Structure 1
């Protein structure tokens, strides 16, 4: 287990180093610097800049420093907890990223709090009722919700609950619970179907096992068979899928947060990418890699405990 953790941490460090180096290399081109000046000053202002003024602007932004020196200074800053300063908002990147991650964390908490029980209950119910009307109905709904893109779901929910009924705000620009209901519902409806189908398939497979049939034939109450024997073995695969949904959430929230104007991680990353805000993009990328590797590690460790036959040396 210790070896596995060390391998994952080494993998994370290598991925972060490679990704950050490539991003720095891409954003170091003269074309990017010119575009950043246009985004920062405006196209008309850049067109009237003299070469000396342009060089002064590069110096003010720290972009006149050679690539290797700037990248080295950034790495030293990261080691001391300094992620640099945003070109677009002229604020500390660490503060911007922390605030955005907290907002997205709140969103993720409610998504998982609603999605996991809903997906597991419906998936188990469909699995133990394989081939029946209940199973077909749940499978149909799961496929429908998963097939509809997040942006379409967001539009439909906004039209119904915000513009039509007027029950909820159309944009998530406040701090109250009512401002995150539509984003949460959008993500829950899109994701629950996938987890429910995985749960259903796993439960249905376990239900056909010989030891389950033997337990039923011995006269053990059906509810006890399901709760004690079926669930423990059937929830191994869904557990792995649920943990890995953390990766999906970081990418999936981009569309939802931008649509609802929710100031979270996804919106911060998109705004920074469109503006060319290098240090924000770098920090957000490192955060995404960290979440991806940690979720994979949690998945591996959880799989080990759920399946005693698997052991990592």
Structure 2
């Protein structure tokens, strides 16, 4: 287990280094340097600058040194928590990114708190009664909700519960401070869209386990059916859904752009879209690097958790 975690951590560092190098190379072009100059000095000032003055600005920003030196300088600043400056928001990128990640983390925590129990319960019930009316109903509901785009679900919920019934606020800007009621519609939108996918994976895994030989043997031995399901079938059936659930961290981090923008929720996805439209180069760099780190970290968590659930992997 220790060797596995060590190998995964080494792979994680290597992947992040390669991704950061590619990311830096993409943004380390004359065009993006010119954009940084425009954002810092203003468009008119840049157009009026002579080449010597522009070169002086490059030297002041440390952008006139060789590529490898610029890259290591950039990495060194990131390790120290310096992600640059957002000229759109007029504040350092580090605190801005931390605030938006915290907001998205709150949203993701609420989504997971609802989605995991609902999807696992429905998936297990469906897999235990494969081919029954309950199974067909849960399968239809899962496919139906997953096939509806997030934006359509958000519009329907807003029209019904905010504009129609007036029970919930239509926006989640949190202008007057943290308000749990403003999280209801964004959370419901994400849960409705995503729970069906996890439920179908759980249903398929549970159905496969229930038809295995050791489950049939346990039932024929007279072991109570509930004990067979809870002690023998459920743990093995949760292996595949666990991997899927952990990997949903990537989707919640970068895939909530539509929901956050629609409900005006100041999270990571909304920040990334605003930075791309501005364009706020250093914010886009920071957001992309954070997304890579989260993706690699979630993969490691998935691998380690998989070995705990599956002893054959742990002792092989």
TM-score scaled by length of structure 1: 0.90
Residue of 211, 217, 220 corresponding to 1:214: 217
Structure 2 CA distance, aligned partners of 1:53 and 1:156?
A: 57
- Greater Cα shift, 1-10 or 171-180: 1-10
Structure 1 CA distance, aligned partners of 2:202 and 2:228?
A: 17
Residue of 178, 190, 193 corresponding to 1:187: 190
Structure 2 CA distance, aligned partners of 1:4 and 1:246?
A: 22
- CA offsets, 1:228-257, max 9 Å, x none? 221111111111111111112112212211
1:153 pairs with 2:173: no
Unaligned runs of 5+ in 2: none
Aligned pairs for 1:217-232 (under 5 A) are 217-232=220-235
Structure 1 CA distance, aligned partners of 2:114 and 2:41?
A: 45
1:72 pairs with 2:94: no
SS in 2 for 1:310: helix
**1:85 maps to what in 2?**
85
SS in 2 for 1:125: helix
CA 1:40–1:189: 2 relative to 1, 3 Å: farther
CA 1:37–1:247: 2 relative to 1, 3 Å: same
TM-score scaled by length of structure 2: 0.89
**2:258 maps to what in 1?**
255
CA 1:216–1:128: 2 relative to 1, 3 Å: same
CA 1:6–1:234: 2 relative to 1, 3 Å: same
CA 1:41–1:172: 2 relative to 1, 3 Å: farther
Indicate conservation of the 8 Å contact 1:154/1:182, yes or no.
Answer: yes
Structure 2 CA distance, aligned partners of 1:60 and 1:251?
A: 35
**2:100 maps to what in 1?**
100
Count of residue pairs brought into register by the alignment: 312
Unaligned runs of 5+ in 1: none
Structure 2 CA distance, aligned partners of 1:232 and 1:308?
A: 11
Indicate conservation of the 8 Å contact 1:55/1:64, yes or no.
Answer: no
Structure 1 CA distance, aligned partners of 2:57 and 2:155?
A: 42
Residue of 284, 287, 300 corresponding to 1:284: 287
1:270 pairs with 2:273: yes
Give the superposed CA RMSD: 2.6
- CA offsets, 1:260-313, max 9 Å, x none? 111111111222222232322222222222221221111111111111111277
- CA offsets, 1:21-48, max 9 Å, x none? 33333223333344556667887x4796
